Structure formats: structure tokens, C-alpha cells
Amino acid sequence: MESTLESPTESAAPEASIVEASGVERFYGEGQAEVRALDGVDVTFEKGRYTSMMGPSGSGKSTLMHILAGLDKPTAGTVAVDGIDITNLDDGELTQLRRDKLGFVFQFFNLLPVLTAAENIVLPMSIARRKPDQAWVDEVIERVGLSDRRTHRPSELSGGQQQRVAVARALVTKPAVLFADEPTGNLDSKASEDVLQLLRGSVDEYGQTVIMVTHEPDAAAHGDRLIALRDGKLVHDAPPVSADAVIELLKTLA
């Protein structure tokens, strides 16, 4: 990857896309107070790939993730997730889509303190009144290294262990896409690496699709692809290569 700014590459549409955004704009305010958080973004994500999204504060990266995940609506443009145009879905339909097709890992773990690790992991299925596949639940819990912490409540777990519970909760429903928003932002370096390896393993071993917003070069380098935004526009789309190369890219975006 060059340290100079790259424009998004022109290429044929991927054979197996899972998320497609076309002409996405998001404006806030009006007149002179108008802020263009996203200004005509076109981007496609393939199944079974790990994409990192970066950019300076205010670049639009978190806004784009929220729109891709149906947590916010674009001012203009369209977004399709697993073949479904989500742009005009109502709140109820969006809630169902997020429940059925998406997994989320956030900077803050969002675990219920009164539930055990195992209960937090299957909570999305409990809310949806779906019976968990216990063999798959056991496999996910073992994969995230929590077999001996199943009955522990969040207050009895370290920050890294709580985030592993959050990753397991996101994976247990076998989502079409797993969105991770600064998943290592509250963790030390060892716990961060553990969580990033879990996300990497979910792609390599289970064919999961991961889209991650991060400001950390080491985290971004775990992905197959790095896209970067500046001033609401997509300005870079290439493999991340290394953390050092990501740092050089960020210098050009500052």
C-alpha cells in the first residue's frame, strides 16, 4: 500500500456480495449549518471477508456503519443487506432484519449484569423466542475460550472476557454480517489481540463476514481489506498490508 492517498479502485461487481451501498448520502442540519457526514458513497462488501474501516474523527466511518446496519437511514441512496433493500423498511422491519441477519460487537460490551455469560450469549435467541442449537452454542463458547466461565456474571469477568462474551453473542445466531464498532477500544493489548483473533477466526473458520470500524492500525491490519473515509467520501480501498502501512495511510488522511 502506498503512503499517498488512493482512490477507490474500479472493478467488476463481486460475485457474492452481502452488503451493497449505492450513492449513500447523510446530511445533518440545513443551510449554512448543514453537515455532510456522507457524500455519495458507493461500496460493496463480499461474503466471507473481513473489512476494516478507518478515517479521521468526523470522516463518516461510524455513520456509514450505522447506515449499513440499519441503525440510521441515509438522506439519499440505497443499502441492500443479503439481497434486501433496507432503505425504506419501517422500524419494525429493521428490528427484525437486525435480529435475523446481523450481529453486533460494540466498544462497550452491553451485557446484562444479572445474566450469566451463557445466558448473555443466547439472549438474542431468547428474545426472538428461538430455541438455540445447543451444540453450536457449546462450540461458540469453546471457540471464544469461555467454557470455564459459562456461569459467571459480567462483574466476575475481565474486560477481555466480557468482550469475548459479546463476540460469542454476535456469532451464535449465525448472522449474515457481523458489525464491530471499535471492538477493542476498551481493552488492553493482550485482550485486544484475543478479540481480533476471534473475529479473524470467525471469517477463516466459519466464513463469517465482518465489517469493523477502528482507529487502531494494529486492529485494521487483521482484515482482508481496508477502506478509509475522509470528509464523507471513500478515499481508499485496498488490502491493509501491515500496521506500519496503515499508519502511513492515516498520516495522509489527517
What is the SS3 assignment for 24? strand
d(Cα 80, Cα 20) in Å, to the nearest integer? 5
Q: Which three cell numbers stand for residue 130?
A: 428461538
Residue 14: pLDDT over 70? no
Task: Read off the DSSP letter of residue 28.
Answer: E
Residue 209 lies in a domain: yes
Residue 119 lies in a domain: yes
Task: Tally the domains of the chain.
Answer: 1
Task: Read off the DSSP letter of residue 154.
Answer: G
pLDDT of residue 10: 42
Residue 167 lies in a domain: yes
pLDDT-based confidence at 33, cuts 50/70/90?
Answer: confident
Q: Which three cell numbers stand for residue 191?
A: 485482550
Residue 151: pLDDT over 70? yes
Residue 22 lies in a domain: no
pLDDT in tens, 71-92: 999 999 999 999 999 998 999 9
pLDDT-based confidence at 6, cuts 50/70/90?
Answer: very low
Residue 1: pLDDT over 50? no
pLDDT of residue 13: 42
Residue 21 lies in a domain: no
Residue 67 lies in a domain: no
Residue 15 lies in a domain: no
Q: What is the mean pLDDT of residues 6-14?
A: 41
pLDDT of residue 15: 56
What is the percentage of the chain residues whose pLDDT exceeds 70? Answer: 94
Question: What per-residue string of b and e applies to 104-133 under the rule 16 or more CB within 10 Å gives b?
Answer: bbbbebebeeebbbbbbbbebbeeeeeebe
pLDDT of residue 234: 94
Q: What is the mean pLDDT of residues 167-189?
A: 90
Residue 82 lies in a domain: no
pLDDT in tens, 201-241: 999 999 999 999 999 999 999 999 999 999 999 999 988 77
Average pLDDT, the chain: 88
Least confident of 59-63, 126-130, 131-135: 126-130
What is the percentage of the chain residues whose pLDDT exceeds 90? Answer: 59
CATH of the domain at 231: 3.40.50.300
Domain around 146: 50-59+97-253
